[in-house]
Amino acid sequence: MSHPSSVSRHERHVLKHAGIHLLIPLFLGVGMALAYLGAFHQPSPHDVRIDVVGSSAETKVMAQTLQDKLGDMVAIRTVADAGTAEQQIKHREITAALVPDATAPQLLYSDAASATTSQVVVSIFEEVAASQHVPLQLRNVVPVAADGDPSGQSMFFYLVGLTVGSYAAGVAIGAAGAALRHRFRVGLAVVSSAVTALLVTVVAGPVYGALPSHVVEIGLLAWLYSVSIMLIGVGLHPFLGKVTTPTMTMLFVMLNFTTAGGVYAPELLPGFFGALHSFWNGAALHEAGRNLIYFPDLGIGRQVWTLLLWLVAASGLVFASFVYERRRNAPLVSESAEDEELEEVVAAA
The answer to whether the pTM exceeds 0.85 is: yes
HSE of 22, CA atoms in CB hemisphere, 13 A: 6
| DSSP state string for 305-319 | HHHHHHHHHHHHHHH
Strands ordered across the beta sheet of 106-109: 74-79, 48-53, 96-99, 106-109, 137-140
| DSSP state string for 26-80 | HHHHHHHHHHHHHHHSS----SEEEEEE--SHHHHHHHHHHHHHHGGGEEEEEES
What is the dotted CATH code of the domain comprising 48-140? 3.40.190
349 residues of the chain, pLDDT tens digit each: 445 556 788 777 778 777 777 888 899 899 999 999 999 999 999 999 999 999 999 999 999 999 999 999 999 999 999 999 999 999 999 999 999 998 889 999 999 999 999 999 999 999 989 988 899 999 999 999 888 899 899 999 999 999 999 999 999 999 988 888 889 999 999 999 999 999 999 999 999 999 999 999 999 999 999 999 999 999 999 999 989 999 999 999 999 999 999 999 999 999 999 999 999 999 999 999 999 999 998 999 999 999 999 999 999 999 999 999 988 877 654 455 445 544 554 454 4
Burial 184-200 (b: 16+ CB within 10 A, else e): ebbebbeebbeebbeeb
pLDDT of residue 340: 54
pLDDT of residue 346: 43
For the chain, give every domain's residue range: 48-140, 154-333
Measured CA distances, 327 to 269, 320, 332, 333 (Å):
44, 11, 10, 10
Is residue 49 within 8 Å of 85, Cβ to Cβ?
no
Which residue type occupies 17? H
Which residue type occupies 77? R
